[in-house]
């Protein structure tokens, strides 16, 4: 289990394939703020709600200078299905090895119905224009999370 990021930390660099198999790097977004969020699985109810909320608010976020990237352990093919089915406009990246998810502290012990297991911790990291962590939020709820981010950022 990796350390959770703190404000001021340098955001771990990454390059991952998107839903179309194209490589996307954090450095591609230098000069813009980036909301990098980690979710357990495409095409599941909570993750769909969260992805749709980000898509619905993408214009508002982009207008305030934020790009949105969703990262999950799903393969690009599943991300493409997710994007098509839900008409998502956000960038979805595949991290099947969970290396980026772990480097952001978004993988670890979870509890569900009394069972403890390892998995993706629903998390959001906001990276500033210089590539530093502005905010790091862990164990967030899928519902209402995007509205909370918008309120907290004063957008």
pTM score above 0.85 = yes
* Residue of 19, 34, 42, 47 marked catalytic: 47
Interval 97-114 mean pLDDT: 93
Angle at 21 between CA 17 and CA 27, to 5 degrees: 35
Distance CA 80, CA 66 (A): 22
- Note the pLDDT tens digit of each residue in 3-60: 899 999 999 999 999 999 999 999 999 899 999 999 999 999 999 999 999 999 999 9
Distance CA 151, CA 30 (A): 24
Instruction: Examine the residue annotation and report whether 52 is marked as an active-site residue of this protein.
Output: no
Confidence grade of residue 91 (pLDDT, cut at 50, 70, 90) = very high
């Amino acid at each position: 289990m990796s350390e959770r990021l703190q404000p001021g930390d340098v955001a771990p660099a990454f390059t991952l394939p998107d839903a179309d198999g194209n490589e996307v790097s954090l450095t591609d977004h230098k000069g813009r703020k980036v909301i990098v969020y980690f979710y357990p699985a495409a095409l599941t109810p909570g993750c769909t709600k969260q992805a749709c909320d980000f898509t619905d608010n993408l214009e508002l976020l982009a207008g305030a200078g934020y790009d949105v990237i969703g990262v999950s352990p799903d393969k690009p093919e599943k991300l493409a299905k997710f994007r098509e089915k839900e008409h998502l406009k956000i960038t979805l990246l595949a991290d099947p090895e969970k290396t980026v998810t772990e480097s952001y502290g978004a993988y670890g012990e979870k509890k569900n119905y009394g069972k403890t297991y390892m998995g993706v911790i629903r998390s959001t990291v906001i990276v500033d224009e210089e590539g530093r962590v502005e905010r790091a939020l862990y164990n967030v709820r899928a519902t209402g999370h995007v509205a909370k981010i918008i309120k907290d950022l004063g957008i």
